[in-house]
Structure 1
């Protein structure tokens, strides 16, 4: 199943993906990446790429260094017995690179990576203590013994240099030296001596220059010192090896975690590469589903976008690809049939493997298998023809295809007798559709085109071709059986008309030719109908705009009239205010009564709410209780309203829909200042006549006490009494807490408070009753 994926440009996609990864293992993995054919794994892969894509969109930049494969490093260390210092620096780089993003990835689809890293992260500090990764060497402080050895080495080197310096100056004064320099040959300190003076100097001849004019002699006076230095260096190497073996032993004990760490990190890096790759062509994450139609809207092959970016003069065309069960793509050669077929196949593979895809919208069912029969399959070595090779593929497809399979066929049936080949493909195609297999194929065959007109599950489409310009438009048009345009193209190219006429006579009796003529007539009718519908739609849009303008005009007139009427009411009401401000107590009652009559009279002139205006679930204002409630049930002119824990049956006259109240709120009868003034004045006058009710609940059970409280509240509300003193005592506090909880949700209670100390303190609760409207 995988061997033909290269024909869908899958290998090219992998090659580009590899350019977005940096670790050795991720590069190898990206180049051998296989598509996902499991719904659960596809969802998981997409979630990982989407998580990183969202972080990138927020401005987070991931910097991944070039990392050697941990698996290879550990395999070599196991054979060698220890890690080299440069290998340890690579391991330290791995740990530090993951640490940078550990907080971002901890609670993410990559939590496994961080969980493994946390188990071995301490090695980063251990390696930091012994390694100097700038020069790739073990630090002097890696052990006390190493510190002492290297100190002695430095002292020994200084002694050698000082002695050499004295010898050099002495010999240079005598004119024995070719140059006044101290040099090294094969790790030994030497002086460049003129060849004629070589016997004048005691020492060991280490080498001779190419010209023979200079000999390099190690003075005898420093040989014991150099030998001691070499012994110290041997001890240094031995101590370094000891340190390397100790840390290597610790690392190798935890090798399983490092292998798992690399595996998880490769998954992270490839997911990051998918997100970064998708940003290049501005892709989207498709909706993945278990079954259903393939839908790619305004989609294109990603390699065409990349080609366009390199060469802006390239023309690219976006198409909609919609496959319910089967799709037959027709059209001329070089018209884009095969490109469309490959685009559908590649986008499907990318979608279910976690890639973003170049499309404005996409829905893709995750397939368990994708079969491809594309291009030439001839095998000369096996003595196999192209057609027989195709037949082998088709046989395999028939045996293994099911409802979870996508089959892509490019001009099947070619390479043999056209009619026999087309007939065979027709039978295979019918069988695949009966299995509910998704099938997409391209063809020039008239027999297959005729079949598409008979099979309801096989939709037909064509690649558009501009005959005037003699070039393809690469647009895929559905519902049309396209021609190969062989005669038209031949005519344009100047073929003899007699030859073309004879050619037409050869096929005019064929059933499919007659069907194509009928189809072309229907196509013309459809085109005219489309133009007619388009014109009517434009006319409807124009009329809709005119109606909308008239609506706005009427609304403006209505609002102006409403505002004028409300202004008149406001003027009339100012008279009440003047009389109210200077009125006595009895005058106040008269004004208050007139005020109610005035309001009722004006409200009656407002159009009442129709029965349809109020429905179940509406938020309404209940006038008698001055509270908001929710409509539970509506029957004729009666509604059931829920107020907190209470359910009330009321007439529609006693409620107002909240939305209507808000609509009228922009035209108040009184200003906010005036309403506050009236409210405060009424409160002052009525406060003189406030009475109170006391409810003594001492000795009552909780359920009995709540009954008494409810009676007192109803009595106070009906009589217009503003507050109730509820005596519940201190006790355990259970009765007090239950009563206060009850008061807190009661629709007739405005608020409540603890009584002052001189009236009972925390043993008494004062409840304030809502005003009657």
Structure 2
């Protein structure tokens, strides 16, 4: 990030609230070094650099939006000791190894998380993150979970640990014997063994201190007790001290050896730390964008500034409801804001400054759309600059600040001016303000300024390069709405607000007389314009709502039409396929019959058989032709209602829906008093007249249903799922036709199809019994099904 604060003063950061954004980022980052980074965060001035920051942030923002954010944890700061790793013989401390271990674990976790499909940029940028099981394992061999050196970290350490334990046991046993003897002789000045100067001692009465041979290690504050180290354990304590020295030295040796192990990994560790620090910067920025529901602003070089439905992020961070802001500055680069006090002018001013700063830092903006040019200078004159120390009045302070702004302004400057022309005589202030604004127009600066001066509003209405903006005021409620209206200045409503706040009506009336006709007329005109604008806005909203309703109706109509056309196309395609099947079947039958006639030389019996078969074929063709001629009525969503009458083509019957579709788009239908479960695709819409007739007579008469069921169905050559579907349809047809049994020809083969059929039949409540046919009728290749 650019650390050049010359493009923006600390006052600008403070006045716009950018310091609050910095502090939020500082408090939410996970690397202590990034706290300083965000504290000093300043705008970039190169579009490509801004774009790079945005792109890297966007990958992490997408992860937040997928509810699968980066599993980043606190990044240990290894900067204080990492360079020492290159020093031969240097020894890291246990705390350093704890930080190193955390870094290794975090580096491995993040690298595995940054998959190419979700993080194409970070997948490349994070490829050098260290993943080393051997490094983790080396640390785990030496330290326990609390990062204390393990007692078995080396054979020597293990031996010393055991020796110390044994020596301590010997000291304890010896001391216990001496203690018991002293207690029996009533020499003790206390009731337990104590430690002084790291040694085990006996608390003896001062008068009895010579009863036990040894060294006086300490004496009580009252002088009544002497703490004696018995002669018997002095040698043992000395040995124990030596063992502890040896133990400490062995631990140092182990740490030096472990430090030496990691010296070759210095570059990998250093680079991993830098990558994780860099990741934390962008992840924190993405976290802010996610919290304030922000979008990526578009940066441009043509000077265009535009925001739609933008909300000040300072309000979003504290979950405060705010009125959104819409501004567009293109040809006119100067916006003159006017309106009542506490109407939101200064908030708009500061918001634009804050948006611009955030955009150039690569941060996202809480808006529907945001476009910003790149500014090389941010300047502002906001608030009371009065200084007693420098002998500056309010007006003098403003002029001093304006002099600096005028001197440094250029076409890539963003300038914020609050309460332009105040602090002096209104006429002189207006003239001076106009002159300054004309200077800014010539310099092509982007300026957002607020004012209450009517003459400036009138001038801005006719001047090129500047546009008026008014803060909307509800004249009936005498309260601001905090909305900005571009192109129209805002009235101050000073007298109306004063009246609302309880000021005497006599004073209000006298003020109206003193203010002058010109000012009163201007305020009245602005007020009337605002009322008319509100009426027009209300009509516009009503018109938009009506247009939306019409669009919804058009969309629904279009979708219905698409459904109908799709259904007709499907019906036509199905009919063509059926016709082709019928023609091929008739052709085969005709060829077979002609061949039989030729073989039998056309005797009467053969001719009668041919006539009968042709008659059957003709009847079937007539029936199917009649079905094909019927209009294809596919079910629409509105037709799928409980109680609706539908047509079932493969049963040539009508039925009534008794249960709505389940998750698999299957409905329960009642046909001739029998309940069937069918797929929606197997149903059609019944004709209106037929539906009415059916509604009046719920039970469909059997004599209106043409039976298409046959006694036997041939499933040979079919897949199991296909065969089960055909079996289900055949059983439905048989039930509708009132048949008492059917035959299912499945063949013998491997037996898989037969087993599937039998399992299916066993689950059907309407099947009374099923068994293989007699041997002379097909045996195990045919299953006979009997109905209840």
TM-score w.r.t. the length of structure 2 is 0.63
Could you say which residue in structure 2 is the equivalent of 1:318? 324
Query: Aligned in 2, Cα 1:506/1:531: closer, same or farther, shift over 3 Å?
Result: same
**Do the aligned partners of 1:208 and 1:214 also contact (CA within 8 Å) in 2?**
yes
What residue is the counterpart of 1:162 in the other structure?
173
Q: Indicate if the aligned counterparts of 2:338 and 2:471 stay in contact, CA closer than 8 A.
A: yes
Q: Map Cα deviations across residues 237-290 of structure 1 (whole Å, 9 max, x no partner).
A: 334334444555676787676565544433322322223333333333333444
Which moves more between the two structures, 121-130 or 426-435? 121-130
Check 1:565–1:151 CA distance in 2 against 1; reply closer, same or farther (3 A cut): closer
Q: Which residue of 2 aligns with 1:302?
A: 313
TM-superposition CA deviations, 1:33-83 (whole Å, max 9, x none): 334343222222222222222223334355555455322345799999643
1:582-629: per-residue Cα shift (whole Å, max 9, x none)? 7789x9xxxxxxxxxxxxxxxxxxxxxxxxxxxxxxxxxxxxxxxxxx
Shift of 1:211: 5.3
Q: Which deviates more from structure 2 when the two are superposed, residues 87-96 or residues 287-296?
A: 287-296
Conserved? CA contact 2:304–2:372, under 8 Å: yes
Q: Secondary structure at the match of 1:284?
A: coil
Q: How does 1:395-406 map to 2 (within 5 A)?
A: 395-406=403-414
94-103 vs 576-585, which moves further: 576-585
Aligned to 2:19: 11
For 1:123 and 1:412, locate their aligned partners in 2 and report how far apart those are by CA, in whole Å.
Answer: 65
**What are the within-5 Å matches in structure 2 for residues 628-639 of structure 1?**
none
Contact 1:177–1:192 (Cα < 8 Å) also in 2: yes
| Alignment equivalent of 1:339, drawn from 342, 347, 351 | 347
- Give matches, 1:750-761, under 5 Å: none
Report SS of the residue matched to 1:72.
Answer: coil
SS in 1 for 2:457: helix
Deviation of 1:445 after TM superposition, in Å, equals 1.8
Distance in 2 between the 1:387 and 1:248 partners? Answer: 66
Asked whether the 8 Å contact 2:349–2:448 carries over to 1, the reply is: yes
Question: How much does 1:3 deviate?
Answer: 0.8
Asked if the contact 1:38/1:367 (under 8 Å) is kept, the reply is: no
Report the Cα offset of residue 482 of structure 1: 0.9
Instruction: Report the 3-state secondary structure (helix = DSSP H, G, I; strand = E; otherwise coil) of the residue aligned with 1:221.
Output: helix
After superposition, the Cα gap between the structure-2 partners of 1:475 and 1:565, relative to the gap in structure 1 and judged at 3 Å, is closer
8 A contact 2:86–2:266 mirrored in 1: no
Q: List runs of 5+ in structure 1 lacking aligned partners.
A: 309-313, 588-773
- Per-residue deviation, 1:332: 1.3
The residue number in structure 2 matching 1:475 is 483
Q: Equivalent of 2:106, from 85, 97, 108?
A: 97
1:38–1:368 contact (8 Å) kept in structure 2: no
Matched, 1:357 2:368: no
The counterpart of 1:285, out of the listed 296, 303, 316, is: 296
Q: Cα distance 1:449–1:556, how it changes in 2: closer, same or farther (>3 A)? A: same
2:438 to 406, 414, 430: 430
The 1:337/1:523 distance shift into structure 2, 3 A limit, reads closer
Partner of 2:244: 233
Whether 1:2 aligns to 2:2 is no
Q: Corresponding residue for 1:204?
A: 215
Provide the C-alpha distance between the structure 2 equivalents of 1:354 and 1:300, rounded to a whole number of angstroms.
17
State the distance in 2 between where 1:91 and 1:550 align.
66
Name the CA distance, whole Å, in 2 between partners of 1:236 and 1:566. 91
Distance 1:396 1:270 in 2: 34
Aligned to 1:193: 204
2:277 aligned with 1:266: yes
Secondary structure, in 3 states, of the residue corresponding to 2:318?
A: helix
Native 8 Å contact 1:205 1:217 kept in 2: yes
Is residue 126–residue 275 contact of structure 2 (8 Å, CA) maintained in 1? no
* 1:488 to partner: Cα distance: 1.6
Stretch moving more, 541-550 or 191-200: 541-550
Determine helix, strand or coil for the equivalent of 1:472. strand
1:486–1:322 distance in 2 versus 1, CA, 3 Å: same
Q: CA deviation at 1:497?
A: 5.3
Report 1:458-497 matches (<5 A): 458-493=466-501, 495=503
Cα distance, 1:77–1:577 mapped onto 2, change above 3 Å: closer
Q: Distance in 2 between matches of 1:223 and 1:264?
A: 57
Deviations for 1:648-703, whole angstroms, at most 9, x for unmatched residues? xxxxxxxxxxxxxxxxxxxxxxxxxxxxxxxxxxxxxxxxxxxxxxxxxxxxxxxx
Is the 1:70–1:258 contact (alpha carbons within 8 Å) kept by the matching residues of 2? Answer: no
The aligned runs of 1:216-227 (5 Å cut-off) are 216-227=227-238
In 2, the alpha carbon distance for the partners of 1:460 and 1:349 equals 24
Once the two structures are superposed, residues 486-513 of structure 1 have per-residue CA deviations (whole angstroms, 9 ceiling, x without a partner) of 1222333455556445544444365x76
Q: Is the 8 A contact 2:311 2:325 kept in 1?
A: yes
Q: 1:131 to 1:117 in 2, by over 3 A?
A: farther
- Determine helix, strand or coil for the equivalent of 2:68: coil
The answer to whether the 8 A contact 1:190-1:219 is kept is yes
Q: TM-score under structure 1 normalisation?
A: 0.64
1:88 paired residue number = 97
CA-CA distance at 1:346 after TM superposition: 1.6
CA pair 32-169 structure 1, distance change in 2 beyond 3 A: farther
CA shift in 2, pair 1:73/1:299, >3 Å:
same
* Structure 2 alignment gaps of length 5 or more: 1-7, 595-788
Q: Tell me if structure 2 keeps the 8 A contact 1:299–1:359.
A: yes
| Aligned-residue RMSD, C-alpha | 4.5
